[in-house]
Amino acid sequence: MQHADATIPAPLRAALENFTGGSVDAAIILGSGLGDFASRLDCQRSISTQELPGYPRSTVPGHAGKLHLCRSGNERLLLFQGRVHGYEGYTPEETILPVRIAAALGARRLLVTNAAGGLHPSFDAGDLMLIRDVLPLPVSQLLPLERLFPSEHGPRHTPLLSSSLMNTARSASDASGVALREGVYAYAAGPSYETPAEIAFYRLAGADAVGMSTVPELFAARHAGLQTLGISCITNKSVTVRQRVSHDEVTSVAARVSEDFSRLVLSILSRW
């Protein structure tokens, strides 16, 4: 690892050093049902997170719990196939561990992806959305910000998302022919899907999609100085009338759009 991070336990640091054999240039965190992207890259090594001491294990279907060391052009890429969430019982420190690992390994850029419910009336299941901004209302209460991100150790008042990487994503969308919506991603703690009242509130507040991850990772990434980009896969329409949404539906829609998602992300990687 290029620089030690006291927040990563020594046994885990040693295992990661052994796995990567050096630094990485960038990292990707894959959300629910999007893990198939790993098969589209030249991945040289893979490891189950169960083999990494102290690494939290995902309990959610669609999150395989694997790390892949891949190549994209001349870059070494660390791919996190799945994540853990606060609603699984994990602490904020555990949910942002992939970001801290990426930073400690020297990554300069991070792509965070997720499955999200569509709030904008024009969004349909299967759309891909560039995260232009976030609505992190619960985060200020759920995350112990001073403990997680001490002000003397990194920037606090910088944008969470990189404007230059957003422009890269727009260019990649044009070049690949994969349509890319844009919008505001709202963070909900979960584990239940949003109530009609919550959906109405988020819409009123200006959110276009809502999910149960990503925002804590964005806080951690910017605090570590990473250039960060976010893309949501819209897996269902969140409406203000009673509805039934299942995780199976979320992962099946994500799988259905995996070809477009992969083509877009590969186009981004070739440009960033």
Q: What share of the chain is helix, strand, coil (3-state, %, to 5)?
A: 35, 25, 40
Integer Cα distance of 233 and 214 in angstroms: 12
C-beta of residue 220 within 8 angstroms of C-beta of residue 102: no
Where do we find the tokens 């976030």?
134
- Of residues 213, 238, 258, 262, which has the active-site annotation? 213
- Of residues 15, 75, 87, 93, which has the active-site annotation? 87
- Of residues 102, 116, 212, 255, which has the active-site annotation? 212
- Of residues 32, 232, 258, 267, which has the active-site annotation? 32
Residue 217 bears catalytic tag? no
Integer Cα distance of 68 and 38 in angstroms: 8
In a 3-state reduction of DSSP, which class is residue 266?
helix
- Of residues 38, 55, 72, 85, which has the active-site annotation? 85
Sign of the C-alpha dihedral computed for residues 179, 182, 183 and 189 taken in this order: positive
- Of residues 75, 182, 198, 247, which has the active-site annotation? 247
- Of residues 55, 88, 129, 258, which has the active-site annotation? 88
- Of residues 55, 58, 63, 104, which has the active-site annotation? 63
Residue 74 bears catalytic tag? no
Q: Which tokens in the block code for residue 271?
A: 């440009």
Residue 63 bears catalytic tag? yes
- Of residues 27, 115, 125, 220, which has the active-site annotation? 115
Residue 262 bears catalytic tag? no
Can you give 177-206 as a three-state secondary structure string?
A: CCCCEEEEEEECCCCCCCCHHHHHHHHHCC
Residue 55 bears catalytic tag? no
Residue 32 bears catalytic tag? yes
- Of residues 58, 173, 232, 236, which has the active-site annotation? 236
Residue 212 bears catalytic tag? yes
Residue 157 bears catalytic tag? no
Residue 1 bears catalytic tag? no
Residue 213 bears catalytic tag? yes
Active site residues: 32, 63, 85, 87-88, 115, 212-213, 236, 247
